[in-house]
Amino acid sequence: MAMKKKPVTGMKDILPKEMEIRDYVISQIKETYTTFGFSTIETPCVEHIENLSSNQGGENEKLIFKIMKRGDKLTASVPKANEDANVLADSGLRYDLTLPLSRYYANNANDLPSPFKALQMGNVWRADRPQRGRYRQFMQCDIDILGEPTILAEIELITATTTLLGKIGFEKFTIRLNNRKMLKAMAAYCGFDEKDYDNVFITLDKMDKIGMEGVAGELEEQGYPTENIRKYLTLFEKTTDDIDGVEFLKDTLGDFLEPGVAEDLETIMKSVSVTKSADFKIVFDPALVRGMSYYTGPIFEISMDEFGGSVGGGGRYDEMIGKFTGQNTPACGFSIGFERIVMLLLEKDYQIPSKDEKTAYLVEKNMPQDKMLEILKRANEHRANGRQINIAIMKKNKKFQKEQLEKEGYTVFEEFYADSFR
Amino acid sequence: MAMKKKPVTGMKDILPKEMEIRDYVISQIKETYTTFGFSTIETPCVEHIENLSSNQGGENEKLIFKIMKRGDKLTASVPKANEDANVLADSGLRYDLTLPLSRYYANNANDLPSPFKALQMGNVWRADRPQRGRYRQFMQCDIDILGEPTILAEIELITATTTLLGKIGFEKFTIRLNNRKMLKAMAAYCGFDEKDYDNVFITLDKMDKIGMEGVAGELEEQGYPTENIRKYLTLFEKTTDDIDGVEFLKDTLGDFLEPGVAEDLETIMKSVSVTKSADFKIVFDPALVRGMSYYTGPIFEISMDEFGGSVGGGGRYDEMIGKFTGQNTPACGFSIGFERIVMLLLEKDYQIPSKDEKTAYLVEKNMPQDKMLEILKRANEHRANGRQINIAIMKKNKKFQKEQLEKEGYTVFEEFYADSFR
């Protein structure tokens, strides 16, 4: 078989320039989230196929990279593969970090503090149709607070994330906030059946793209009563994106809304905006759905005009860990769109602050051993003090060599010749 | 299907305590190797099955986690799977970082400097039999210099790695050095046929475990002439582990040894030991083999008494990139045993230097909103100055809660009550 030079379809080689930005963002993430008391953890990239196919992952479950059984187990499964090829796989690559985190917490709760504040950075894989800017392997970065039932979790997650974004130069972004319970209360108030909620929300989720009338049109096509739809739309029209909007819905929905839901939304909005250090706003968005069905309470998303879409989001999922343990554990998480953030920073040619000077030593070819030793010694002494020194054998076209090194960021050059150290 | 709490066989969840050490080692690796002019890069974890099965990986190729084709391609392959189950896979998880690096360089050489100094840290996967301390997913950390034909590459790789080990507290370790060409010259001198070299070296590689007489016994069992074996053993007995040893072999082997090989070994040894900043020694080990057949020149390994085995190694592999491009490119790499190093640090309860003080705020339950806002503000101000602050709702058993937090490293506690801030 011939060797292939390109990466596998939909995955990419990351060049040094992009890696510098990635490494910088990663260091800022670790530093910032650490100040909020989060601890880094790691879960294996490979997960049980049973867990990946447990209906927690929504559409992502269709995109799993499946890993084949090995040895005798594979041989035994092959004859059954004609009926269902899934029998050939015993595991797969994780498609997100939330499911592995829940398994991790279920497996290790005895050795973890409560509440537990976890920071997880790692690759996930989805066999999506390849398209510009979307890859089949990409990095996710999640913070989660497990075991904290109060909205202190939501407030800390949102504050930590907005602080991070501010530090790496983003501003004027928007945090959109809602609650799955508010979504449901609105649907109930307008006369939709509980069994139809998920379907109605899938349509509502398109509001950004098709507008309110578009949503109305689709709901009508699907055969829901016109009366319900009109009532639903009016509700959205009348609701403002601030605390008054939450108050309005609280008054309007009455008993359809669980007690405390509106108050919690207000407290989150107020706490985040009063204590904020970055330049952003937090708004109430009653049309915010978030795809995953596992959310049980507050949900939130970051919007950036520069990106024209979400660059992160999360929410409360109090019932997922219970799927592993049989006992529900409060859980709330925020995932930032690491790849999108890196893309935005690359696009605006972001300059990493306070980068150290880089020095290149150009050493004449065939330098005598004793002089070479002097050069190596000198370099190592400077390196021990944290200076960045690249030793290179001088090329015939020294001018071109220097230009290339300048492209890599080298600004200081020292030349060494056999006859004398100039 | 029931959800599974344990990680998949042979892989592990990493708890915060271990992650702290891992993160620290990673930061030291990045920092140290950067001062030597290495740039971080990343390759996808998934690699073409053709590349993974190209005989570059030796025994590792038997341990590949294979990824199933998807959709129509899978359906089309299933009927042929009875003959050869391999037709079901189109890719697999990488088993090392060297093969992906070679593909990466072949794919991106036009956008990379020459020589190119790469730092790659990432997980690799091997479906090995699970055993204590060995996992099926583990982190590798490689530095490679591509495009540098002189031994400046070897010297820089060894110096960078020993500097790193010194920084994270290791001392009295040994760098063992040899050259594949020296190995071959010794075998030729003793009368072994070229076709038998690989086989002879596999036996020689067991010297550490079975001793010189053991090696002799195995070689005799395999039917090699006693005369050759005796000559071979005498050569090893007479060769010292210093520059004199290299000189002795140079004189003895004469024309069997390619010109320059001995001189290069001497220069590497001298350069590394004269310029070293850590406390270690570099020795000549004519019995050092290194498993992989792709090595073409100098090879080296780190031994630590505390570990009783290799904690890293590498060498020159000038012919691998040519497998992708048709044109050979000088290449030399050093891989440190990241997992072993982390294990050793955990075992000796390594204390990360200058860790910041961690503060916990204990907040009485149901704190009024206005007071909670003050607490959040105060925490965020301190966090902005880099302090680490964890806000926790006060539990009934406050003493126990504090003890738990102390285990997490919190040393400063502030308590907040609704009636007054004490």
- Check residue A1 and give its pLDDT: 54
Q: Which of A279, A186, A280, A191 is nearest to A238 (CA)?
A: A186
CB-closest option in B11, B35, B89 to A388 = B35
Burial of A325 (0-12, 13-18, 19+ CB in 10 A): middle
Q: Do B107 and A150 touch (CB under 8 A)?
A: no
Contact A363, A416 (CB under 8 A): yes
Mutation target vs A (from B46, B323, B371; most A CBs, 10 A cutoff): B46
- Check residue A309 and give its pLDDT: 80
Tell whether the model's pLDDT for residue A380 goes beyond 60: yes
Tell whether the model's pLDDT for residue A133 goes beyond 90: no
CB-closest option in A13, A75, A156 to B107 = A13
Sequence-distant (≥ 6) Cβ neighbours of residue A350 within 8 angstroms: A21, A168, A169
Rounded to a whole number of angstroms, the distance from the CA of B311 to the nearest CA of chain A is 23
Tell whether the model's pLDDT for residue B313 goes beyond 90: yes
Report the pLDDT averaged over residues B169-175.
94
Q: What's the mean pLDDT when you consider all of chain B?
A: 93
Q: How far apart are CA B369 and CA A396, in angstroms?
A: 71
- Check residue A334 and give its pLDDT: 98
pLDDT band at A59 (very low <50, low <70, confident <90, very high): confident
Report the pLDDT averaged over residues B286-311.
89
User: Percent of chain B at pLDDT above 90?
Assistant: 83
Chain A residues touching residue B136 (CB < 8 angstroms) = 46
Q: Do A74 and B89 touch (CB under 8 A)?
A: no
Tell whether the model's pLDDT for residue B365 goes beyond 80: yes
Chain B residues touching residue A16 (CB < 8 angstroms) = 39-41, 112
Rounded to a whole number of angstroms, the distance from the CA of B113 to the nearest CA of chain A is 7
Q: Do B391 and A115 touch (CB under 8 A)?
A: no
pLDDT band at A353 (very low <50, low <70, confident <90, very high): confident
CB-closest option in B22, B159, B377 to A275 = B377
Q: Do A393 and B30 touch (CB under 8 A)?
A: no
Query: pLDDT digit string (tens) for A146-203?
Result: 999 999 999 999 999 999 999 999 999 999 999 999 999 999 999 999 999 999 999 9
Chain A residues touching residue B389 (CB < 8 angstroms) = 35-37
Chain B residues touching residue A12 (CB < 8 angstroms) = 44
Mutation target vs B (from A27, A33, A48; most B CBs, 10 A cutoff): A48
User: Percent of chain A at pLDDT above 70?
Assistant: 99
Q: Do B108 and A8 touch (CB under 8 A)?
A: no
Tell whether the model's pLDDT for residue B308 goes beyond 80: no
CB-closest option in B7, B50, B380 to A159 = B380
Whole-angstrom CA distances from B339 to B138, B140, B335, B342 are 7, 8, 11, 5
- Check residue A421 and give its pLDDT: 59
Tell whether the model's pLDDT for residue B179 goes beyond 90: yes
Chain B residues touching residue A78 (CB < 8 angstroms) = 81-82, 85
Q: How far apart are CA A127 and CA A60, in angstroms?
A: 9
Residue A269: HSE in the Cβ half-sphere, 13 Å Cα cutoff: 23
Backbone angles phi, psi at B281, to 5 degrees: -130, 155
Tell whether the model's pLDDT for residue A83 goes beyond 90: no
Q: How many residues appear in chain B?
A: 422
Q: Do B4 and A48 touch (CB under 8 A)?
A: yes
Q: How far apart are CA A234 and CA A212, in angstroms?
A: 10
Mutation target vs A (from B145, B151, B275; most A CBs, 10 A cutoff): B275
pLDDT band at A65 (very low <50, low <70, confident <90, very high): very high
Chain B residues touching residue A2 (CB < 8 angstroms) = 50
- Check residue B306 and give its pLDDT: 77
Q: How far apart are CA B358 and CA B382, in angstroms?
A: 11
- Check residue B145 and give its pLDDT: 97
CB-closest option in A23, A88, A91 to B40 = A23
- Check residue B17 and give its pLDDT: 92
- Check residue B1 and give its pLDDT: 54
- Check residue B64 and give its pLDDT: 96
Query: pLDDT digit string (tens) for B140-155?
Result: 999 999 999 999 999 9
- Check residue B356 and give its pLDDT: 75
Q: How far apart are CA A197 and CA A71, in angstroms?
A: 46
Tell whether the model's pLDDT for residue B422 goes beyond 70: no
Tell whether the model's pLDDT for residue B168 goes beyond 60: yes
Report the pLDDT averaged over residues B367-390.
91
Q: Do B68 and A70 touch (CB under 8 A)?
A: no
Report the pLDDT averaged over residues A319-348.
94
Backbone angles phi, psi at B95, to 5 degrees: -100, -10
- Check residue B292 and give its pLDDT: 73
- Check residue A357 and give its pLDDT: 87
- Check residue B275 and give its pLDDT: 85
- End-to-end CA, chain A: 52
Residue of A nearest to B323 (CA): A3
Q: Do B115 and A19 touch (CB under 8 A)?
A: no
Report the pLDDT averaged over residues A398-407.
93
Report the pLDDT averaged over residues A117-128.
97
Sign of CA dihedral B37, B41, B47, B50: negative
Report the pLDDT averaged over residues B203-225.
93
Rounded to a whole number of angstroms, the distance from the CA of A319 to the nearest CA of chain B is 14
Contact A33, A119 (CB under 8 A): yes
Query: pLDDT digit string (tens) for A260-313?
Result: 999 999 999 999 998 888 899 999 999 999 977 789 999 999 999 877 788 999
- Check residue B133 and give its pLDDT: 75
Backbone angles phi, psi at A388, to 5 degrees: -100, 115
- Check residue B421 and give its pLDDT: 59
Query: pLDDT digit string (tens) for B83-137?
Result: 888 899 999 999 999 999 999 999 999 999 999 999 999 999 999 987 877 899 9
Contact B88, B69 (CB under 8 A): yes
pLDDT band at A379 (very low <50, low <70, confident <90, very high): very high
- Check residue A354 and give its pLDDT: 67
